[in-house]
């Protein structure tokens, strides 16, 4: 018996998915025993040329067609955005149809409601493509590692920003030139703000935190800093100290609860994430029993992402045909979300200071007063001025910020040129 697939969205991901479901139908049947048939595709603009051809009437413009059409057994949402995607996904789940989505924004914003609707209808809600595109990371976290005590998740989950930072580091390009090249290669959109501000990575950090720790983290509670202010001097400073700068999504368990954050970070050159260059994505997991795991690969693109979506479609179709009353694969609500202030971080500060006797002692005292100790100091004197690179030991964020407040008022500190956290280094 064929499983009827309805797909909302036929752009980069959806268009590729439709084409592959049609072209690879026999292959999928041979490998899985499932016959997957595209029965309806919903798009916004019915006049647009598509890379596939379907019989007239099969392509429509109303997403609710996927819920009301009885020939659609399984709904794929690959159009993006909160609405009408959210209404469609909820209605499909309530109608007892399994849903596969690639929509990180929707899952991050409404996971508790959607997961509950899936559980109530006992149908799967799968979203492997929502984080890391073609990298299998959701299923490993939700299923393979369900019995593991995870301690930390650290990811490079935005290819655009990793491309920009890699080009600045390796080619010596300015931020502006690297962004222009990313746009030329279509890694970055004309309006790159969602990527460079860290907003895209926030949704993924929230999802990773939810899966790793069983706690839903509202994206509004994920601390966010983008890469817009990273300069060539910051990258040179990182290199001098043996680090490379990456935009990281970090989720971890602290004594006060789970904390998720997105910000640029210095990563040691010998850390596995330091080797992730260009538009590649990677997620580095630390667990009490399993140790360290690295998942890496293409984080976007029509084909890699469609592969992840297709895997979910096969999985959901299998469950549908087996008639099993599936238990939800994820559940939230087994812990607290803590404030960003609670997390312990290490900072690297780049300072311009007066080069005179006693300056270092006064700077060290400002850190000491805030309860932050210094791990290393690198100094480059140039007559009456000097550049200092200070790396701290771990201390709560609020203490690091108090130390910074104590520094900026010192008359010997000309400028705090930048502060970048250090991750993956003890």
Catalytic residue IDs: 204
Q: Which residues bind ligand NAP (CB under 6 A)?
A: 9-14, 42-45, 48, 61, 63, 78-80, 84, 102-104, 129, 133, 300-301, 305
Nearer to ligand NAP, 84 or 257 (CB): 84
Q: Which of 55, 52, 63 is nearest to 21 (CA)?
A: 52
Give the tokens for residue 243: 């680090």
Q: How far apart are CA 322 and CA 39, in angstroms?
A: 21
Is residue 271 within 8 Å of residue 108, measured between CB atoms?
no
CB of 425 to ligand NAP, least distance (A): 30
CB of 105 to ligand NAP, least distance (A): 6
CB of 90 to ligand NAP, least distance (A): 15
Nearer to ligand NAP, 80 or 124 (CB): 80
CB of 373 to ligand NAP, least distance (A): 42
C-alpha 396: how far from its chain's center?
24
Nearer to ligand NAP, 195 or 315 (CB): 195
Nearer to ligand NAP, 43 or 370 (CB): 43
Residues 6+ apart with CB under 8 A from 7: 14, 17, 18, 38, 40, 41, 42, 66, 75, 76, 78
Is residue 316 within 8 Å of residue 74, measured between CB atoms?
yes
Q: What residue number has its CB nearest to ligand NAP?
A: 11
Does a cis peptide bond (omega within 30 degrees of 0) precede residue 84? yes
Is residue 363 within 8 Å of residue 412, measured between CB atoms?
yes
Q: How far apart are CA 231 and CA 229, in angstroms?
A: 6
Cite the DSSP H helix spans in 33-103: 65-68, 85-94
**Cα dihedral sign for 414, 346, 374, 381?**
negative
Nearer to ligand NAP, 13 or 366 (CB): 13
CB of 41 to ligand NAP, least distance (A): 9
């Amino acid at each position: 018996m064929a499983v009827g697939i309805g797909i909302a969205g036929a752009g980069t991901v959806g268009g590729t998915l439709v084409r592959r479901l049609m072209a690879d139908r026999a292959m999928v049947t041979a490998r899985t025993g499932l016959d997957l048939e595209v029965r309806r595709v919903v798009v916004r603009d019915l006049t647009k040329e598509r890379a596939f051809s379907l019989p007239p009437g099969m392509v429509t413009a109303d997403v609710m067609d996927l819920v009301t059409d009885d020939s659609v057994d399984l709904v794929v949402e690959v159009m993006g955005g909160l609405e009408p995607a959210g209404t469609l996904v909820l209605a499909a789940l309530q109608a007892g149809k399994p849903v596969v989505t690639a929509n990180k924004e929707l899952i991050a914003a409404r996971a508790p409601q959607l997961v509950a609707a899936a559980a109530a209808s006992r149908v799967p809600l799968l979203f492997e493509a929502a984080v890391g595109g073609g990298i299998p990371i959701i299923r490993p976290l939700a299923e393979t590692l369900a019995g593991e005590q995870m301690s930390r998740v650290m990811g490079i989950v935005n290819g655009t920003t990793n491309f920009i930072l890699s080009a600045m580091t390796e080619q010596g390009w300015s931020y502006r030139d690297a962004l222009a090249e990313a746009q030329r290669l279509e890694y970055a959109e004309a309006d790159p703000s969602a990527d460079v501000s860290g907003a895209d990575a926030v949704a993924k950090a929230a999802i990773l935190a939810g899966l790793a720790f069983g706690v839903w983290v509202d994206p509004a509670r994920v601390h966010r800093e983008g890469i817009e202010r990273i300069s060539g001097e910051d990258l040179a400073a990182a290199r001098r100290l043996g680090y490379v700068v990456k935009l990281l999504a970090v989720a971890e368990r602290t004594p006060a609860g789970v904390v998720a954050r997105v910000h640029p970070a210095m990563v040691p050159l010998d850390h596995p994430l330091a080797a992730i260059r260009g538009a590649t994505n990677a997620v580095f997991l630390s667990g009490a029993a399993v140790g360290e795991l690295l998942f890496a690969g293409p984080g976007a693109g029509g084909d890699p992402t469609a592969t992840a979506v297709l895997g979910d479609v096969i999985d959901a179709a299998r469950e549908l045909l087996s008639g099993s009353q599936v238990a939800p694969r994820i559940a939230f609500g087994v812990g607290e979300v803590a404030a960003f202030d609670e997390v312990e971080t290490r900072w690297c500060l780049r300072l311009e200071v007066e080069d005179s006797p006693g300056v270092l002692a006064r700077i060290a005292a400002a850190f000491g007063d805030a309860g932050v100790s210094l791990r290393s100091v690198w100094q480059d004197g140039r007559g009456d001025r000097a550049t200092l690179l200070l790396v701290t030991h771990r201390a709560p964020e609020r203490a690091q910020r108090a130390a910074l407040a104590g520094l900026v008022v010192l008359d010997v500190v000309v400028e705090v040129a930048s502060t970048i956290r250090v991750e993956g280094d003890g």
